[in-house]
Amino acid sequence: MDFAPSPRATDLVGRVRTFVETGIEPVEEARQHDPAALRADGDPWRPLPVVDEHRARARRLWNLFPPAAHEGPDAERLTDGPGEAHRAVVARLEPVKHGVRR
């Protein structure tokens, strides 16, 4: 049995990795330096403006399996799922200690 990821899964892995490396990690780093200043208006639950920007960019990456009719990439569970499509983000995560990434 061939367990190599499909070309489509390989493409999704690349897109997710690029998004995490260029869109998430730099923002996360900036956010951790001075979180109080980022919420100076007194509302600690207000999402950062950059979060909305990233939501728009990640729309077709957040869940790989909705059909195209529902704004998803319409990935195939049997051919695209078992590969590394779901591991691209997980592999980038570091252990969380007391709610703070190290």
Please indicate, yes or no, if residue 95 is contained in any of the structural domains. Answer: yes
Determine the straight-line distance between the first and last CA of the chain, rounded to whole angstroms: 39
Please indicate, yes or no, if residue 41 is contained in any of the structural domains. Answer: no
Number of domains within the chain: 1
Q: Is the dihedral of CA 23, 81, 92, 34 positive or negative?
A: positive
Please indicate, yes or no, if residue 38 is contained in any of the structural domains. Answer: no
How far apart are alpha carbons 31 and 90 in whole angstroms?
Answer: 20
Q: For residue 90, give Cα distances in angstroms to 33, 87, 94.
A: 23, 5, 8
Please indicate, yes or no, if residue 65 is contained in any of the structural domains. Answer: yes
What pTM was computed for the model? 0.50
Per-residue pLDDT of the chain (102 residues; tens, 9 = 90+): 777 777 877 888 888 888 888 877 887 776 666 666 666 667 666 666 777 777 766 666 666 666 666 555 555 555 555 454 445 454 444 444 445 444
What residues have CB less than 8 Å from 5, skipping those under 6 apart?
A: 13, 80, 82, 83, 84, 85
Give the domain range for residue 18: 7-33+46-101
Strand 100-101 to 96-97 pairing: antiparallel
Please indicate, yes or no, if residue 2 is contained in any of the structural domains. Answer: no
Please indicate, yes or no, if residue 14 is contained in any of the structural domains. Answer: yes
Please indicate, yes or no, if residue 97 is contained in any of the structural domains. Answer: yes
For residue 101, give the amino acid letter.
Answer: R
Please indicate, yes or no, if residue 1 is contained in any of the structural domains. Answer: no
